[in-house]
């Protein structure tokens, strides 16, 4: 069965064109339909035609710090009323969602977004050290190294299943998790800053593992 994938892509400070292209290869392995779109509203309107929605974007209000001021005109975003609720309803009815890297920062005016993911970025608490070599330890699989960012202090809800961790100076940090949401499933991978990370064999296998089982096409 062909998997119909939508990737919501774009935003500040990352080459989302390259990472979304790499994700499209990993997620379909040559057998699937992928549509990459920078319009979140359009993605939501097509949910009925979607098997897997991927959020690979950094779109939020950019109001937490004045360092973002020069970029607000191009990238600041506030989800339209009802959009996140509609997405949550789709997942609850059996939809599949994959949130990549900066997706845990998106939609900061919509608390329902992090409630759907089972955790995410909390301003004033979450942070990440400079990008560097990380040792990633997936549950039930061999550890692997890659160059990336390790998000710290994601404030996860008790019902998530941590699928991979990374240990730096502040102790083990969850970098990937899954959770059931109604009849649907959510997977979160906080890695994936650039295309090289996503094309690291161990990382590609981790993404496949996050999407196995009930995510299978």
Instruction: State the Rg of the chain over Cα.
Output: 16
3-class SS of residue 96 = strand
DSSP single-letter state for residue 79: P
We report the CATH number of the domain holding residue 149 as: 3.40.50.880
H/E run at residue 202:
helix 201-210
Report whether pLDDT(198) > 60. yes
pLDDT of residue 215: 46
Please, what is the average pLDDT of the chain? Answer: 94
* pTM beyond cutoff 0.85: yes
* Residue-range definition of the domain harbouring residue 185: 3-215
Q: Mind listing the pLDDT tens digit for each residue in 19-33?
A: 999 999 999 866 779
CB 152 within 8 A of CB 128: yes
DSSP single-letter state for residue 169: T
Write down the residue that tokens 């094309």 correspond to. 199
Quote the crossing angle between the two packed helices 16-28 and 201-210, to the nearest 10°. Answer: 60
Rounded to 5°, the CA angle 134-101-48 comes to 145
pLDDT level of residue 148 (50, 70, 90 thresholds): very high
**Number of domains present in the structure of the chain:** 1
CB 62 within 8 A of CB 71: yes
Cβ partners under 8 Å of residue 103, min gap 6? 55, 56, 57, 58, 117, 120, 188
């Amino acid at each position: 069965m062909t998997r119909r994938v939508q990737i919501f892509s774009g935003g500040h400070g990352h080459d989302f064109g390259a990472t979304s292209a790499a994700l499209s290869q990993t997620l379909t392995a040559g057998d699937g339909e992928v549509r990459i779109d920078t319009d979140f509203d359009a993605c939501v309107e097509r949910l009925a035609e979607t098997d897997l929605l991927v959020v690979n974007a950094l779109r939020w209000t950019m109001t937490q710090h004045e360092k973002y001021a020069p970029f607000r005109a191009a990238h600041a975003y506030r989800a339209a009323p009802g959009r996140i609720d509609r997405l949550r309803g789709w997942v609850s009815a059996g939809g599949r969602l994959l949130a990549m890297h900066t997706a845990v920062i998106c939609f900061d005016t919509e608390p329902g977004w992090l409630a759907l993911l089972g955790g995410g970025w909390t301003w004033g608490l979450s942070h990440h050290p400079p990008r560097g070599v990380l040792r990633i330890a997936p549950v039930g699989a061999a550890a692997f190294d890659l160059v990336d960012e390790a998000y710290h202090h994601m404030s996860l809800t008790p019902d998530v299943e941590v699928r991979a961790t990374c240990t730096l100076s502040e102790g083990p940090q969850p970098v990937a998790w899954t959770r059931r949401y109604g009849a649907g499933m959510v997977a979160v991978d906080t890695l994936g800053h650039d295309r090289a990370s996503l094309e690291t064999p161990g990382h590609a296998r981790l993404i496949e593992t996050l999407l196995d089982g009930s995510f299978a096409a």
